[in-house]
Structure 1
């Protein structure tokens, strides 16, 4: 699907409002797609994924052998530092919100928790038979930031 984003954004006063952590997480939980950022071969790597919020953690699905899976499965390790970003920004008005969570990602290894995560998050990409999305990763938020991009005079977060 091709979107025509050639129209300029409406001109007018704009504001950037910093969101508190609770509101930022609420907005992140209102969408199902985001982007995870992690280090691979000493360089930043970004992957689009779907997610759910579960007990304050972000949960995503992955598969055995995925770059992120191999980075998060070290026993006794607090996990790997990642960033997770989700947003809802209107392509025409350029208004909406963006949230970034930084924290430790760990592979879910407890069988009961893994079964629960599998029920909560359905993979949105069909994988080849050798890449079954049977793993889950939990991201424990340590730093949560968010911004609301609004036309001047509008303080309420967009319900998109």
Structure 2
């Protein structure tokens, strides 16, 4: 595994959420997911009620996580590309995710899990990022 891949994995462990993107009925979509790295694979937890897991299962997906909103002057973004598969984690793996959100769009959160074996890993870094200021329209 290239050195940047190890760095990307280390950075990914610093943030609990990211975004998975794929297509559904030929239209792109992105959704927020909780992630963990387990045995070199990316494991995602998302809400079953969205139905996205059906489109993601067996599809090539892109997963992205970053620290863009951290306020740090040095920011990073990690992207993984690979095939997603729905799977049932062990009780121990489920416990690693911690408590689930109570609601998703006003209904009880019903977790479903996907596993991605990364085929491509990309790491981007921005250095000396200026502090964000809201722009005001006159």
Query: TM-score higher than 0.5 here?
Result: yes
> Which one has a bigger Cα radius of gyration?
1
Runs of 5+ consecutive residues of structure 1 not aligned to the other structure: 1-18, 74-78, 152-160
CA RMSD of aligned residues (A): 2.5
Runs of 5+ consecutive residues of structure 2 not aligned to the other structure: 129-138
**Any conservation in 2 of the 1:49–1:60 contact (CA below 8 Å)?**
yes
Q: Give the length in aligned residue pairs.
A: 124
User: What does the per-residue CA deviation read over 1:101-159, in whole Å, with 9 as the maximum and x for residues that have no partner?
Assistant: 000110014xxx34333212243352424x522x21111111000011113xxxxxxxx
The TM-score, its normalising length taken from structure 2, stands at 0.75
Cα separation, partners in 2 of 1:72 and 1:96, compared to 1, 3 Å: closer
4+ runs deviating over 3 angstroms: 63-66, 90-95
Cα separation, partners in 2 of 1:116 and 1:68, compared to 1, 3 Å: farther
* Pairwise CA distance, 1:65: 5.0
Greater length-normalized contact order (CA 8 Å, ≥ 6 residues apart): 1
The TM-score, its normalising length taken from structure 1, stands at 0.66
More strand by share: 2
